[in-house]
């Protein structure tokens, strides 16, 4: 079983201590989703993947560390607006703020994953509109990484599968199909994404469904 702990952590930005969650032990058994969201019990520990300083508002995977220039980002109007935007669940806002920091520092891969984590929080909160916004932000960050020849996922055509999944689950099924159809000899995962997009299925699906091998590429 995955295990989290709650301890005092001093914010590297403002020096104020607060109680924060840490993931102490992780365990995931079963198939992840097509966007690589892990199965249980790791899946339910998402609240411990991001920390927030209640004093200065700094959001990070570990507020005990900070890089140069982050203080100006945290004080910026855009950051404060994102942190206090009531249209997103509270936990999602923290991931989005962390993504904003990473994006400003040109860490597109990490920014994309932070956006996707925010989308998962919105999924759990039953907020498809906010989840769609987060997924589209993740798509743009991952696409920017690909343009810079920086990988954001390992595995045969896994990056294309994730990009297609982000678009499909955002309701952009035609755009998802375009990614699937431009890939030669698609993997089972990408073939399954193509099938799901073709029937406008915007739901979450798992990798094992694609790997059952019961579907053929659509012509």
Quick: pLDDT tens for 202-214: 999 999 999 885 4
Q: Which of 147, 175, 190 finishes a domain?
A: 147
The predicted structure's pLDDT at residue 211: 82
- Looking at the domain assignment, is residue 116 inside a domain? yes
Q: Does 111 lie in the same domain as 29? A: yes
Residue 42 and residue 140 share a domain: yes
Torsion of CA 62, 66, 70, 75, to 10 degrees: 70
Does the pLDDT at position 98 exceed 70? Answer: yes
Q: Is the pLDDT of residue 63 over 50?
A: yes
DSSP state of 19: E
9 occurs within a structural domain: yes
Domain region containing 132: 3-147
Which of 104, 132, 103 lies closest to 116, judged by CA? 132
Residue 100 falls inside a structural domain: yes
* Domain co-membership, 95 together with 37: yes
Q: Reply yes or no on whether the pLDDT at 218 is more than 70.
A: no
pLDDT of residue 212: 82
In a domain, 215, yes or no: no
Question: For residue 154, is it within any domain?
Answer: no
Model pTM? Answer: 0.95
Q: How far apart are CA 58 and CA 190, in angstroms?
A: 37
């Amino acid at each position: 079983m995955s295990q989290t702990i709650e301890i005092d952590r001093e914010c590297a930005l403002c020096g104020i201590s607060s109680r924060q969650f840490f993931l102490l032990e992780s365990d995931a058994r079963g198939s992840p989703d097509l966007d690589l969201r892990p199965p249980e019990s790791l899946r339910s520990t998402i609240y411990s993947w991001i920390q927030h300083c209640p004093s200065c508002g700094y959001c990070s995977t570990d507020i005990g560390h900070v890089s140069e220039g982050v203080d100006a980002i945290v004080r910026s109007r855009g950051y404060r607006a994102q942190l206090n935007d009531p249209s997103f669940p509270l936990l999602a806002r923290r991931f989005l703020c962390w993504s904003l920091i990473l994006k400003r520092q040109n860490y597109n891969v990490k920014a994309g994953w932070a956006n996707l984590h925010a989308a998962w929080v919105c999924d759990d909160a039953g907020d498809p509109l906010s989840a769609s916004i987060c997924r589209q932000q993740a798509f743009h960050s991952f696409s920017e990484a690909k343009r810079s020849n920086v990988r954001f996922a390992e595995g045969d055509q896994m990056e294309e599968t994730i990009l297609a999944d982000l678009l499909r689950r955002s309701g952009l099924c035609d755009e998802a199909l375009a990614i699937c159809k431009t890939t030669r000899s698609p993997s089972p995962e990408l073939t399954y994404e193509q099938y799901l997009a073709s029937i406008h299925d915007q739901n979450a699906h798992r990798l094992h469904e694609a790997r059952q091998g019961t579907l053929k590429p659509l012509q």
